Amino acid sequence: LDLPADRVLFVEGDLALPNLGMSQSDFDRVARETDTVFHCAAFVNHVYNYTSLETANVFGFKEVLRLAATDTEKVVNFVSSAVVMNTLGNLGLIVSENDPLPASMEDLRLMKMGYPRTKWAAEKLAESAAKVGIK
């Protein structure tokens, strides 16, 4: 993939830490200099429970949204997981990409694993962010 070096910034960090693991000055600089965020990171483990994955997958995404809302307006491209929709399909439901998510995790009676539950929670955060103008 040929990306223009003067337009693309790869940020190494840690989803489980405040400021995505960056110093405050680096977080502020990235927030100031960025116009588009591509977020495709997650802590993937199909054995761990929700609590074990929540910090990275839910609170980490909140930090991504906070970055997007800081300083200049940014577009957030959230690369999520098909696991939530696959779970719905396993319930016998036919879903499309424009279908809303179930209102609560309890509506996903068979979704017991922690990873899909954290991805559902992050998707709900993305829905909420879109409603307040974070695109």
**pLDDT tens figures, 92-121:** 667 676 777 777 666 665 567 888 889 889
Note the pTM of the prediction, 2 decimals: 0.83
13 Cβ partners below 8 Å, 6+ apart? Answer: 19, 20, 21, 22
Q: How far apart are CA 35 and CA 127, in angstroms?
A: 20
**pLDDT tens figures, 81-92:** 766 666 666 666
**pLDDT tens figures, 51-61:** 999 999 999 99
> Does position 79 have pLDDT exceeding 90, yes or no?
no
Q: How far apart are CA 16 and CA 34, in angstroms?
A: 21
109 Cβ partners below 8 Å, 6+ apart? Answer: 91
**pLDDT tens figures, 3-54:** 777 778 778 889 999 999 999 999 999 999 998 999 989 999 989 999 999 9
Q: How far apart are CA 66 and CA 54, in angstroms?
A: 17
- pLDDT of 88: 64
Cβ neighbours of 85 (radius 10 Å): 20
